[in-house]
A and B are shown apart, each in its own frame.
Chain A
Amino acid sequence: SQKIEQNSEALNIQEGKTATLTCNYTNYSPAYLQWYRQDPGRGPVFLLLIRENEKEKRKERLKVTFDTTLKQSLFHITASQPADSATYLCALRTGGFKTIFGAGTRLFVKA
């Protein structure tokens, strides 16, 4: 079955540094991959989508890469701020209406 793996350990970084989160997937060749942000007690919020023919996608301080050979996506937040502290979820569409998610990586940005 399809599986998505994200670093289960929390990532702690200093304000102003670049945070890099990893998403690996197996048993599937998705046409695109999505990233979401989730704050405690709230639902996930969509951030970015990257297609298989796009190596890189940017939105303000966010950058996502997609390597279909490695079956991996990297999510970068540059010039990180304490307000970026949240859980970040990787997701992919597996067919029909099914979107599956990784367990997420918790990011803490210290001032």
Chain B
Amino acid sequence: ETGVTQTPRHLVMGMTNKKSLKCEQHLGHNAMYWYKQSAKKPLELMFVYNFKEQTENNSVPSRFSPECPNSSHLFLHLHTLQPEDSALYLCASSQETMDRRNSPLHFGNGTRLTVT
């Protein structure tokens, strides 16, 4: 069991649906991330939150909407997705300090999303 828990593990949704992915970290970290992983492609960074503040938005379409109510929880709200958005969505966390910006990422096991 990892210190980062993602739910649901699998999700099938139609293009007109609205759904949310949830991530919770039990590691006491202050930074949380959303990555997208498509087959045969590198992980793509989507969003970063540090102490609940969004610090990165990697030109992600507005049909993906992140929410970070506190340092332990991260959501990804989905609406009017396209079939090409089908992928594995990974949440990660890390402990960042001013003098230590090389902290490794701790990943959850992802949500496998299929858009029909």
Seen from chain A, the residues whose Cβ lies within 8 Å of a Cβ on chain B are 4, 8, 31-32, 34, 36, 41-46, 49, 51, 89, 91, 93, 96-104
In the bound complex, residues from chain A placing their C-beta under 8 Å from that of B41 are: 103
* Interface 0/1 of B1-13, CB less than 8 Å to A: 0101000000000
Would B110 and A49 count as touching, CB distance under 8 A?
no
In the assembled complex, the Cα of A43 lies from the Cα of B88 at a distance in Å of 9
Question: Of the candidates B50, B104, B112, which one forms a contact with A46 in the assembled complex, judged by CB atoms under 8 Å apart?
Answer: B104
**Given contacts A93-B101, A96-B55, is CB(A8)–CB(B40) below 8 Å?**
yes
Would B45 and A99 count as touching, CB distance under 8 A?
yes
In the bound complex, residues from chain A placing their C-beta under 8 Å from that of B45 are: 98-100
B90 is an interface residue with CB less than 8 A from chain A: yes
Closest B residue, CB atoms, query A102: B42
* Interface 0/1 of B81-116, CB less than 8 Å to A: 000000000101000100001101111111010000
Rounded to whole Å, the gap between the CB of A101 and the closest CB of chain B is 4
In the A-B complex, the 10 residue pairs with the smallest Cβ-Cβ separation, listed nearest first, are A43-B107, A46-B104, A101-B43, A97-B48, A103-B42, A101-B42, A42-B109, A43-B109, A32-B102, A44-B107
B31 is an interface residue with CB less than 8 A from chain A: yes
Interface of A is mostly: strand
Closest A residue, CB atoms, query B31: A97
In this complex, which of A34, A99, A103 has the most chain B Cβ atoms within 10 angstroms of its Cβ?
A99
Would B106 and A46 count as touching, CB distance under 8 A?
yes
In the assembled complex, the Cα of A101 lies from the Cα of B96 at a distance in Å of 19
In the bound complex, residues from chain B placing their C-beta under 8 Å from that of A98 are: 45, 48, 56, 58
Closest B residue, CB atoms, query A35: B104
Rounded to whole Å, the gap between the CB of A26 and the closest CB of chain B is 14
In the bound complex, residues from chain B placing their C-beta under 8 Å from that of A97 are: 31, 33, 48, 50, 55-56, 96
Rounded to whole Å, the gap between the CB of A82 and the closest CB of chain B is 22
In the bound complex, residues from chain A placing their C-beta under 8 Å from that of B112 are: 41
Would B102 and A49 count as touching, CB distance under 8 A?
yes
In the bound complex, residues from chain B placing their C-beta under 8 Å from that of A103 are: 40-42
Can you name 21 A-B pairs with beta carbons within 8 Å?
A32-B102, A34-B104, A36-B105, A41-B109, A41-B112, A42-B110, A43-B4, A43-B92, A43-B107, A44-B43, A44-B90, A44-B105, A45-B107, A46-B106, A51-B102, A93-B102, A97-B31, A98-B48, A98-B58, A100-B42, A100-B45
